[in-house]
Amino acid sequence: MIDKLSPTLNLAEYIAKIQQLLHTNDEINISLACELMKGQGIPASLQNILLNSSGNIILHCLRNHLIAPFARLQYLDLNNTELTELPPEISRLKNLTSINLAFNEIDEFPPVLTELSHLNTLNLSENYLSSLSFDIVHLHKLKTLHLGWNEFEEFPLEVLGLLKLEQLYLNENKLDKLPKEISELPCLTYLNLRWNEFEQFPIELTLIAQLKKLKFSENWINVLPPEIAQLQKLEQLYLSKTNLEIVPPEIAQLRNLRMLDLSANQLDIFPEELLELYQLKQLNLAHNHVNSLPEGIGQLTQLEVLELQGNYIKALPTEITQLQHLKKLSLNNNGLTHLPIEMGELVSLEYLALEQNCLQKLPEGLAQLNKLKVLKLANNDFPEKEKEHIRQAFATTPQVNIQGLGTCSK
């Protein structure tokens, strides 16, 4: 333990000594620092230091009844501090709007939280919760609630009383159904249900009319219901690793969709219904069984990211070069034997991944893409003469990071 403070220290030495005591992260030293501050005062410069201290130091100060320096605190990060419960002194932090309690050992909802009436963000992810207290409804201003990585086997009905809730995270739990009342959360626009135990897509989800972002990946559902079309405001939909074999035609009615993730499924063909999603900016069909792209791919004129790696696409339609806003194109691990000579028309392209294909030649126009930054070519069939030609073609474009020239793997 650090020696006690000498009464002869000046202000600078006093502040330095307090900092030294606090930053040992030793409970006895922190307790001593708290007693000194209660006895000798807290100048403004020291108060700012305290407000920017780690959550662990703040927690120790609260336990030592040093409350005043934290009266203005709005965000408290107690992430990964081995908490099993919260000290009652936290209730005196009346200006808190956000608290992070993730990665702890909390197995019951801390009742002291309900006294933080200004709270709008509460993170309880990575704990051992299996239920909530009805008192959570007293958090009238709560907009974001993180409950991922817990032990919920049933949807916590207490959440339904949080009428201002906009974002709800229930990922990595054990849920297999939802209550129909979930549609009564009037402000809910984001819902994360990734990696639960759903065996079918809950129809109840399609009743949340204002939903804009839905994460439902890693649930073994096999099919999407036609009612998915009811989510007319949906902008982002994540359905990776859900064992989908087909996509219902009704998905074409989601005209506000900007991001669609269908990666790591069992799709054999490119769903042509997607060609009607004219606002789509990101499309991920990686790691499926798709063997060709439709000629209509050029209709997705707003597309910026297209992920097609890990499929069985041997050739690309010329129409893909109509995607004038495309910035990222991933085609690695497909078995491509050639590319359209018009590839140089992808004027916005910044990233092109072509590894693990069977290419022997690149279109001349690629070297003219002045926005291109990354070109991945490893594990293809380029002869030595073509490799040298590629190096020379890109010699005047040093901004392009060319990665690898190798042999065919498919």
Question: Tokens in use for 396?
Answer: 């005047």
Q: Which residues span the domain enclosing 44?
A: 1-72
In-domain check, residue 170: no
DSSP collapsed to 3 states, 71-105: CCCCEEECCCCCCCCCCHHHHHCCCCCEEECCCCC
Q: Which amino acid is at 170?
A: L
Q: How far apart are CA 407 and CA 116, in angstroms?
A: 61
Picking from 72, 96, 117, the residue at the C-terminal end of a domain is: 72
With respect to residue 398, please indicate whether it lies within any of the assigned structural domains: yes
- 387: Cα within 13 Å, side-chain hemisphere: 13
How many domains are contained in the chain?
A: 2
Q: Within a domain: residue 327?
A: yes
Chain centroid offset of residue 399 CA: 29
Residue 13 pLDDT = 83
Half-sphere exposure in the Cβ direction for 53 (13 Å, CA): 26
What's the pLDDT at 5?
A: 47
Q: How many CB atoms lie within 10 A of CB 156?
A: 22
* Identity at 89, one-letter amino acid code: E
Minimal CA–CA distance to 101: which of 81, 75, 115, 120? 81
Q: Is residue 223 part of a domain?
A: no
Residues in the chain: 410
Question: pTM score > 0.75 for this model?
Answer: yes
What pLDDT sits at residue 383? 94
Look at residue 353 and tell me if it is in a domain. yes
281 contacts: CB under 8 Å, gap ≥ 6: 258, 259, 302, 303, 304, 305, 325
What's the one-letter identity of residue 98? S
**Domain for residue 307, yes or no?**
yes
User: Integer distance in angstroms from the first to the last C-alpha of the chain?
Assistant: 65
DSSP 8-state secondary structure symbol assigned to residue 6: P
Cβ contact 165:140 at 8 Å: no
Whole-number pLDDT of residue 45? 82
| Interhelix angle 27-40/11-22, nearest 10 degrees | 150
**Is 319 within a domain?**
yes
CATH number of the domain enclosing 317? 3.80.10.10
What is d(CA 367, CA 376) in angstroms, rounded to the nearest whole number? Answer: 13
Give the span between the Cα atoms of 250 and 265, in whole angstroms: 19
Does the residue 331 lie in any domain? yes
The three-class DSSP label of residue 123 is strand
Please, are residues 349 and 370 in contact by the beta-carbon 8 Å criterion? no
Domain final residue, candidates 46, 72, 98: 72
Query: How far apart, in whole angstroms, are the C-alpha atoms of residue 339 and residue 381?
Result: 13
C-alpha span between 243 and 201 (Å, rounded): 12
Per-residue pLDDT of the chain (410 residues; tens, 9 = 90+): 344 445 556 888 888 888 888 888 788 888 888 888 888 778 888 888 888 888 888 988 898 888 888 889 999 999 999 999 999 999 999 999 999 999 999 999 999 999 999 999 999 999 999 999 999 999 999 999 999 999 999 999 999 999 999 999 999 999 999 999 999 999 999 999 999 999 999 999 999 999 999 999 999 999 999 999 999 999 999 999 999 999 999 999 999 999 999 999 999 999 999 999 999 999 999 999 999 999 999 999 999 999 999 999 999 999 999 999 999 999 999 999 999 999 999 999 999 999 999 999 999 999 999 999 999 999 999 999 999 999 999 988 889 999 998 444 44
Residue whose C-alpha is closest to residue 283's, from 291, 231, 273, 196? 273
Q: Is 313 helix (H, G, I), strand (E, B) or coil?
A: coil
Predicted local confidence at residue 223, as pLDDT: 95
Q: Are 273 and 295 in contact (CB under 8 A)?
A: no
Quote the strand ranges of 86-200, DSSP E. 98-100, 121-123, 144-146, 167-169, 190-192
The residues near 317 (Cβ < 8 Å, ≥ 6 apart) are 292, 293, 294, 295, 297, 298, 340
Q: Which of 72, 94, 116 is the last residue of a domain?
A: 72
Say what the pLDDT of residue 93 is. 95
